Amino acid sequence: MRRGGILMHLSSLPSPWGIGTMGREAHGFVDFLAAAGQSVWQILPIGPTSYGDSPYQSFSSFAGNPYLIDLDVLAAEGLLKGGEYRDLNWGGDPARVDYGALYEHRRPVLQAAVRRLLAAPPADYGAFCAANADWLADYALFMALKQSHGGRTWQEWEEPFRRREAAALTAFRGENREEIAFWQAVQYLFFRQWGVLKAYANSRGVSILGDMPLYLSGDSADVWAHPELFQLDEALRPTEVAGCPPDGFSADGQLWGNPLFNWEQMEKDGFSWWRRRVEYQRSIYDLLRIDHFRGLAAYYAIPRDEPTARNGRWRRGPGMKLLGALGQGGGIIAEDLGFLDDDVRELLRQSGYPGMKVLEFAFDSRESGDYLPHNYVRRCVVYIGTHDNDTALGWMAHAPAADVKKAVDYLHLTPEEGFHWGLMRGAWSSVGELAVVQMQDLLGLGSEARMNIPSTVGGNWCWRMLPGAAAQELSARVRRQMELYQRLG
């Protein structure tokens, strides 16, 4: 079945309260998707973000981001009063997320809501905590400890807390019950709103495609609670960290800094932590993209104290041992971009997962992959660019002239049609089963709307769509393209 989809993170929705949320605008965007003939809404990871605001660096691989909770919904439920949040300064630019304002204001607002929630807990509150106890208890304790330490990473805590000594944790729980309960209740509020939004999307024929980062942040509840599952030394510091080697895009490579998995240890119990992780992710999304899939075939390991990624080395990943343990089932997409070799291609073939094709790479003289549409197989997901790439018009403006000319000649791009519409036509008309375009491209925005520039800190993850931009005439034009290319799904 041929389908179309749009990539836009929840944070990029309009809202008066500093960031896109799961409220009215999210439901309105579902209506836009349905009217435009789109059957897939792709979002970025929804976990709580840490320093740098990246959704790929989260405090938990299970928890939801408190920033995405809709405050108007809480007010409608009687958990907030208008004066507790409507008069606060959430930032002055509706086209950008102001993370500083969110950091300052969100916690006290949510504390007010949680006080009212816990004064008379809903009937399903206890069941939620019990069903998620295997991650929620550690996450709430981790966040409470982090709060008590001024936000410092767990590696900087006192030894009894770093090493999770039972006596120290028991004493802390006893002295900080209210703080721990706050973090648990916030997760209840998040997933209650998430469940309503997902059910509404599904009722309109829209599936939500979520994104699961391969690696975890070193400063996360997961690494703190399960250090044996990661490549850490006796002092609980990573021996090597994750990244990508130098290439035509970066002379120093990419130094991500995430701790690496201890695959040998994980294999001993049949990858139970990974099985739980993927099972959980598949329960909250309809479709799931595994980020950096090539790291399962072989991963790039960089010595801990290296200033760049130049001196790393490749190590063999778990491959089909892990994927076999995850079991069969559809709905998983492999982000198989970057440093493809025969091992990655074979792992993709054995897994049966569809891979990704990126049109901007098709015309990039630095890229050696088979991203030109005439090379596509039916079972793939086609993009112009992902959140890590420039927008279509940004790419046209800044790519080398020879690369742009190749795209113009290959796709017969014209200014009359609009270069961004021509690039989207290239994705929609391809043989790929699913074609996903960024909302920024539908709106014809340039590099100012780019979501992320890899290996940079500051200014990323901020773009927001202005109110009213997802207009009826735009949905009608997109729907016509879906009819032409038989992607109404």
Candidates 70, 291, 360, 390; catalytic one: 291
Q: Where are the beta strands (DSSP E) in 245-338?
A: 254-259, 287-290, 298-303, 313-316, 332-334
Return the sign of the alpha-carbon dihedral for residues 53, 54, 59, 61. positive
Mention every residue, 6+ apart, whose C-beta is less than 8 A from residue 471.
Answer: none
Residue with tokens 């648990």: 184
Q: Is 291 a catalytic residue?
A: yes
Q: Is 124 a catalytic residue?
A: no
CA nearest 38: which of 205, 210, 287? 205
| C-alpha distance from residue 107 to each of 54, 191, 223, 277, 394 (Å) | 19, 17, 24, 27, 36
Token pair recorded at residue 29: 């965007």
Element (H, E) at 208: strand 207-212
Q: Is 448 a catalytic residue?
A: no
Q: Where are the beta strands (DSSP E) in 272-362?
A: 287-290, 298-303, 313-316, 332-334, 355-358
Candidates 72, 179, 335, 364; catalytic one: 335
- What angle is formed at CA 211 by the lines to CA 429 and CA 266, rounded to 5 degrees? 130
CA nearest 190: which of 53, 20, 64? 64
- Contact between 55 and 291 (Cβ < 8 Å): no
Catalytic residues: 291, 335, 388
